[in-house]
Structure 1
Amino acid sequence: MSGEALIYDAELSPTKEDIAGRYAGIVTLFGSYRLVDPDDVVGIEVLVGSDLDGRTVQLPLTYRPEEIDPECTLTDMEHSVLGRRWVSNALGDPVAVAQFIRTILEGDDGATRSDGVPAALDIRGSGSEGKVDVRDVELFEVTRQRAVGTVNIDGNVRSFQLILPHLLRRLNSTGVDANTARLHLIGWLPSMPEKQRVLAELSLRT
Structure 2
Amino acid sequence: MSGVAHIHQAELSPSKEDIAVRFAGIVTLLGSYRLVDPDDEVGIEVLVGSDIDGRTVQLPVTYRAEEISPEHTLTEMTHSVLGRRWVSNALGDPVAVAQFIRTILEGDDGATRSDGVPAVLNLRGSGTEDKVEVRDVELREVTRQRALGTVNIDGRVRSFELRLPHLLRRRNTTGVDANTPRLHLIGWLPSMPEKQRVVAELSIRA
Q: TM-score, normalised by structure 2?
A: 0.97
Q: Which residue of 2 aligns with 1:145?
A: 145
CA distance in 1, matches of 2:62, 2:15: 14
Unaligned ranges ≥5, structure 1: none
2 CA distance for matches of 1:132 and 1:122? 22
Q: Spell out the pairing of 1:82-93 with structure 2 (5 A cutoff).
A: 82-93=82-93
Match of 2:61 in 1: 61
Query: For 1:172, what is the secondary structure of its paired residue?
Result: coil
Post-superposition shift, 1:162? 0.1
Q: Partner of 1:187 in structure 2? A: 187
Give the Cα separation in 1 of the matches to 2:21 and 2:182.
31
* Identical pairs, percent: 84
> Distance between the aligned counterparts of 1:19 and 1:59, measured in 2?
9
CA 1:83–1:198 in structure 2 vs 1: closer, same or farther (change >3 Å)? same
- Could you say what the CA RMSD is over the residues aligned between the two structures, in angstroms? 1.6
Q: Deviations over 1:76-104 (max 9, x none)?
A: 00000000000000000000000000000
SS in 1 for 2:172: helix
Per the TM alignment, residue 202 of structure 1 is displaced from its structure 2 partner at its CA by 0.2
CA distance in 1, matches of 2:197, 2:23: 21
8 A Cα contact 2:126 2:182, kept in partner: no
Count of aligned pairs between the two proteins: 205
Task: Give the Cα separation in 1 of the matches to 2:89 and 2:168.
Answer: 17
Task: Give the distance between the partners of 1:202 and 1:51, measured in 2 at CA.
Answer: 25
8 Å Cα contact 2:98-2:135 kept in structure 1: yes
Amino acid at match of 2:185: L
Structure 2 CA distance, aligned partners of 1:21 and 1:130? Answer: 38
Contact 2:75 2:87 in 1 (8 A): yes
Match of 1:160 in 2: 160
Is 1:24 the counterpart of 2:24? The answer is yes
Q: Secondary structure at the match of 1:171?
A: coil
Shift of 1:182: 3.2
User: Following the alignment from structure 1 to structure 2, what is the Cα–Cα distance between the partners of residues 22 and 43?
Assistant: 20
Deviating above 3 A after TM superposition, structure 1's stretches of 4 or more consecutive aligned residues are 175-178
In structure 2, stretches of 5+ residues that fail to align are: none
Q: Aligned equivalents of 2:44 and 2:176: distance in 1?
A: 25
Instruction: Check 1:177–1:102 CA distance in 2 against 1; reply closer, same or farther (3 A cut).
Output: farther
- Matched to 2:132, the amino acid is V
